[in-house]
Amino acid sequence: MDLLNTLVEKGLRRELPTREEALAVLATSDDELLDVVAAAGKVRRQWFGRRVKLNYLVNLKSGLCPEDCSYCSQRLGSKAEILKYTWLKPDEASQAAAAGVAGGAKRVCLVASGRGPTDRDVERVGRTIEAIKEQNEGVEVCACLGLLSDGQAERLREAGADAYNHNLNTSEATYEGITKTHTYADRVDTVQKAHAAGLSACSGLIAGMGETDEDLVDVVYALRELDSDSVPVNFLIPFEGTPLAKEWNLTPQRCLRILAMVRFVCPDVEVRIAGGREVHLRSMQPVALNIANSIFLGDYLTSEGQAGQADLDMIADAGFEVEGAGTTTLPAHRADALAAAGAVAAGGCGSQASAGCGSHDAAEGAGCGSHAGGCGPCGGHAVPEPAEPAEAAANQARTDLVAVRRRGAGTDLAPNA
């Protein structure tokens, strides 16, 4: 296909596709799907080889959030029977993180429910970051705490945070229909604060909430403009007890097209398959590794995921390798730009130019809190090996596909890693 040849060439040059080209990827037929995957795979291998980065979630504070994000099991008014607990102590969080690192995780994502952290919360998370890094040499730490106030990103970086996650989730045009207690602009502001502090920005989306193809392209183009280093792609889990419990709009084929579109628009960033891969990709998860170069290991925030060993087996069986701690994830031009931005931020500069996620140096082209994190939707993940197909009749909740997390952080049971 001329379209795919053009997209590959642009991806190898870090050049922004046109909106029409991005929309055309989402409109391809099932007969063309493997060609789409193969084309996206060429771009993925150019910048990331056959490496898969493993990330591990630690839910520092679960449930009881004042925000009303429709997709989230921790939202205000949620009837989902999830674990609810206040802040883990630093040593408890460090022990939870160690399980993920032992399983092969290179990055630990620290997530807390809530609109955003107080300054006291930032200090608490800072002590947790220090404890994790003392016990796990070389591990990356990403914080996901919701909306940030002035100065908080800088304090997290001083405490040792490497990255900050805050997803845009959906397009600006549709955001108000998903959440009313904060705005799309609030989210953009937090990502920009993380950038300005020299943190690696992690920001992504949630697909499957009833959005259009145009909405998906809009949010991915916005993520490129914000210059996110990592883009988690979440697939909505319609968690029983939330307003979106009956939204089942995804198929494995649709998910693969979405991932491919993200890869073409953001060719040289860490594209992470986050929430919902077990439910919506199902047996096609290994195919998706040809497009994405990052996943979460084991369980998630409020629900259980695929067994950690099954993740490792899947990666090996698909011919990929787990990215080692000594390997730099990002391509050199992005890693160098991030390091330079960090040095500038440490020197007191309060801003950082955004070049777009196709190119940190603009060579070509243009909290989690209650929210879904790059850390996957707070609403949860799925039980592996569902007994029935994931598609459901309209207006029916699928309680068989989502298992509430009852192990790991906040419990006395061993984590899944």
What amino acid positions are annotated as catalytic residues?
65, 69, 72, 109, 142, 202, 272
Region for residue 342 given its phi and psi (left: phi exceeds 0; alpha: psi -120 to 50; beta: otherwise):
alpha
Tokens 């598609």 -> residue: 391
Alpha carbon distance 47, 37 (integer Å): 16
Residues 6+ apart with CB under 8 A from 404: 80, 81, 82, 83, 302, 303, 304, 380
Region for residue 198 given its phi and psi (left: phi exceeds 0; alpha: psi -120 to 50; beta: otherwise):
left
Other CB atoms within a 10 A radius of the CB of residue 149 amount to: 13
Residues 6+ apart with CB under 8 A from 140: 106, 107, 108, 162, 163
Q: Tokens for 152, please give them.
A: 């908080």
Phi/psi of residue 310, nearest 5 degrees: -65, -35
CB 195 within 8 A of CB 352: yes
What SS3 state is found at 39?
A: helix
Tell me the three-class secondary structure of 310-338, residue by residue.
HHHHHHHHCCCEECCCCCCCCCHHHHHHH
Provide the residue type at 162 as one letter: D
CA dihedral 211, 215, 217, 220 (to 10 degrees): -90
Q: Which of 232, 58, 196 is nearest to 128 (CA)?
A: 58
Alpha carbon distance 148, 58 (integer Å): 19
- Tell me which DSSP letter residue 290 carries: T
Residues 6+ apart with CB under 8 A from 352: 195, 196, 198, 341, 344, 345
Q: Tokens for 410, please give them.
A: 């906040």
CB 56 within 8 A of CB 100: yes
